[in-house]
């Protein structure tokens, strides 16, 4: 395990939590762990036969955010602008103007679509699939060359399309599926070494199993979060000081919000800030506003490049890390609880470690809050009303 945790001492108040959790893991009750450690996953991941210039991923929520986080972290920044590289575009929204202009501007023969939906029926993903499928047919191209489907439900809409199909386990919750086919297929197409991502995840899980409570990073993260939440710090700000980790924050926010927000009385509200940019936006509020927040910083110790600032003795890397330390120390001085996950360098292995560590933290918090971490009943009501509205509108 390469990543480290720097935090104020958290008291371990949940005795036997780890032991009970590991018993549940052995019974298959936390499927994200089995999926992340699955040695056969890489062989099963079939990439498109041809090299495409553009890969468009259709998916939303847990079917998109993990893949986005991995690609932002590990696909070199702005690589799509380099000659002969592939452009990956995650379409996790149905904005009419965006979709119109995208469809006007892409070369369909150079594009492969990966439609990801665990249920195979999510209205946004299915609607985008229908839209682009017709475009492919109209262009007289063979949909079998231009689509890959990832789903858990062979009988869902997408599962029944007779297109190249990758199936995922039915018991794997969407937001915990980043280390499955869902999050790793785009990475494999991008020639990211996904075996190393798995190696990192496995090392983080070993760390969790072996390390005593006072050194156990997922456990300390969970205890710290829970204790401060119960003391009124019920807003958690996740604060990466790294462009490569800015979408990681979005993934983590969904993981925390959709997994733990289950009862009116308790549960954290996660929000995102990205450093140093948001020092010029939200920091005033964080420093002097309501004392209802705790912070989880993500710090990258060594970047792949450290451009020198002309006329100065320091690099951009020195500057970004000094700003992060300055912000954290100022918050701590004001009595605001903070923790930092220190990533020595962004690599496939450390990203695997980071994902597994934070998934374990949220799964442990689910036990502490006594909620069902893996369901999301609260999103159904709005969906039902939307369906009534759209059918009423169409038939009026
Ligand atoms: O994390 C989750 O379970 C959700 O965010 C789902 O991923 C999201 O609702 C999309 O569902 P599906 O993958 O079935 O299209």
Ligand 1 pocket member 359 (CB < 6 A): no
**What's the pLDDT at 92?**
97
- Residues in a beta bridge with 88: 55
pLDDT tens, 14-67?
A: 889 999 999 999 999 999 999 999 989 988 898 998 889 999 999 999 999 999
Say whether pLDDT at 10 is over 90. Answer: no
Mean pLDDT of 195-199: 97
Cα(376)–Cα(380) distance, integer angstroms: 8
How high is the pLDDT of residue 292? 97
Ligand 1, from 62, 92, 176, 178: best to mutate by most atoms within 8 Å of Cβ? 62
Longest Cα–Cα distance in the chain: 69
- Average confidence score pLDDT of the chain: 94
Could you give phi then psi for residue 294, rounded to 5 degrees? -130, 160
pLDDT at 8 over 80: no
Closest CA relative to residue 254, chosen from 271, 234, 240, 239: 271
Mean pLDDT of 177-184: 97
- Residue the block writes with tokens 């829970």: 226
Minimum CA distance residue for ligand 1 atom 2: 174
Residue 394: pLDDT band with limits 50, 70, 90? low
163-180 pLDDT, tens digit each: 999 999 999 999 999 999
Q: Measuring from atom 12 of ligand 1, which residue has the nearest CA?
A: 117
Is 118 touching ligand 1 by the criterion CB < 6 Å? yes
For ligand 1, mutation pick of 121, 127, 174, 182 (most atoms within 8 Å of CB): 174
60 lines ligand 1 (CB under 6 A): yes
> In angstroms, rounded to a whole number, what is the distance separating the alpha carbons of residues 88 and 390?
31
**Mean of pLDDT values over 359-384:** 91
Catalytic residue among 39, 83, 280, 305: 280
pLDDT of 81 reads 81
Check 124, 223, 258, 328 and give the catalytic one. 258
Please name every residue paired with 272 in a beta bridge, in sequence order, or none if there are none.
Answer: 238
Res 79: pLDDT: 81
Is residue 117 within 6 Å of ligand 1 at its C-beta?
yes
| Range with lowest mean pLDDT among 242-246, 277-281, 339-343, 379-383 | 379-383
In the set 46, 49, 383, 391, the catalytic residue is 383
Residue 186: closest CA among 280, 102, 66, 297: 66
Q: Cβ(364) to ligand 1 under 6 A?
A: no
Task: Give the nearest ligand 1 atom to 376 CA.
Answer: 3
Q: Is 280 among the catalytic positions? A: yes
| pLDDT for the residue numbered 383 | 79
| More confident of the two residues 384 and 236 | 236
Instruction: State if residue 151 touches ligand 1 by the CB under 6 angstroms criterion.
Output: no
pLDDT in tens, 330-357: 999 999 999 999 999 999 999 999 999 9
What pLDDT score was predicted for residue 84? Answer: 81
Cα distance between residue 12 and residue 34, in whole Å: 26
Edge-to-edge strand ranges of the sheet holding 4-7: 4-7, 338-345, 293-302, 235-240, 269-272
79 in catalytic set: no
Q: Hey, whose CA ends up nearest to atom 15 of ligand 1?
A: 117
pLDDT at 297: 97
- What's the mean pLDDT in 259-276? 94
Cα of 130 to ligand 1 centre, how many Å? 18
pLDDT band at 183 (very low <50, low <70, confident <90, very high): very high
Pocket probe mutation, ligand 1, options 32, 61, 128, 156, max atoms within 8 Å of Cβ: 61
Domains of the chain, earliest start first = 4-25+194-378 (3.40.50.10490), 38-189 (3.40.50.10490)
Separation between Cα atoms, residue 230 and residue 242, nearest integer Å: 29
- Is residue 2 pLDDT above 80, yes or no? yes
285-317, pLDDT tens digit by residue?
A: 999 999 999 999 999 999 999 999 999 999 999
pLDDT band at 396; cut points 50, 70, 90: low
Letter string b/e over residues 328-363, b meaning 16 or more CB atoms within 10 A of that residue's CB: beebeeeebbbbbbebeebbbbbbbbbbbbbbbbbb
Average of pLDDT values for 227-231?
94
Asked if the model's pLDDT at residue 76 lies above 90, the reply is no
Cβ–ligand 1 contact at 258 (below 6 Å): yes
Closest ligand 1 atom to residue 374 Cα is 3
Burial of 244 (0-12, 13-18, 19+ CB in 10 A): buried
Residue 7 in this model has a pLDDT that exceeds 80: no
The pLDDT value given to residue 9: 64
């Amino acid at each position: 395990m390469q990543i480290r945790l720097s935090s104020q001492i958290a008291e371990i108040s949940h005795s036997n939590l780890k032991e009970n959790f590991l018993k549940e893991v052995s019974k298959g009750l936390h499927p994200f762990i089995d999926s992340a450690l699955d040695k056969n996953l890489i062989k099963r991941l079939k990439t498109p036969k041809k090299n495409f210039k553009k890969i468009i991923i259709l998916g939303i929520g847990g079917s998109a955010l993990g893949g986005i986080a991995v690609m932002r972290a590990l696909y070199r920044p702005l690589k799509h602008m380099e000659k002969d590289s592939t452009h990956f575009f995650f379409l996790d929204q149905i904005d009419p103007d965006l979709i119109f202009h995208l469809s006007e501007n892409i070369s369909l023969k150079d594009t492969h679509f990966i439609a990801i939906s665990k249920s195979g029926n999510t209205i946004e993903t299915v609607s985008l699939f229908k839209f682009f499928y017709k475009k492919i047919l109209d262009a007289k191209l063979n949909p079998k060359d231009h689509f890959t489907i990832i789903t858990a439900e062979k009988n869902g809409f997408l599962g029944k399309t007779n297109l190249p199909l990758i199936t995922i386990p039915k018991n794997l919750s969407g937001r915990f599926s980043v280390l499955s086919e869902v999050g790793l297929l785009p990475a494999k197409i991008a020639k990211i070494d996904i075996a190393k991502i798995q190696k990192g995840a496995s090392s983080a899980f070993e760390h969790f199993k072996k390390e005593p409570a006072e050194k156990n990073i997922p456990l300390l993260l969970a205890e710290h979060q829970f204790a401060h939440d119960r003391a009124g710090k019920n807003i958690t700000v996740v604060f990466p000081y790294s462009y490569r980790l800015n979408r990681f924050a979005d993934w983590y926010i969904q993981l925390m919000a959709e997994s733990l927000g289950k009862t009116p009385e308790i549960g954290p509200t996660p929000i995102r800030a990205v450093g140093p940019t948001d020092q010029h936006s939200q920091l005033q509020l964080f420093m002097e506003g309501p004392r209802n927040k705790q912070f989880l910083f993500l710090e990258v110790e060594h970047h792949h490049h450290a451009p020198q600032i002309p006329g100065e003795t320091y690099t951009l890397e020195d500057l970004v890390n000094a700003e992060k330390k300055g912000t954290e120390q100022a918050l701590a001085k004001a009595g605001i609880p903070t923790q930092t996950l220190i990533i020595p360098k962004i690599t496939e292995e450390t990203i695997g470690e980071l994902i597994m560590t934070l998934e374990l933290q949220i799964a442990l918090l689910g036990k502490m809050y006594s909620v069902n971490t893996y369901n999301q009943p609260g999103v159904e009501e709005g969906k039902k009303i939307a369906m009534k509205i759209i059918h009423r509108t169409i038939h009026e």
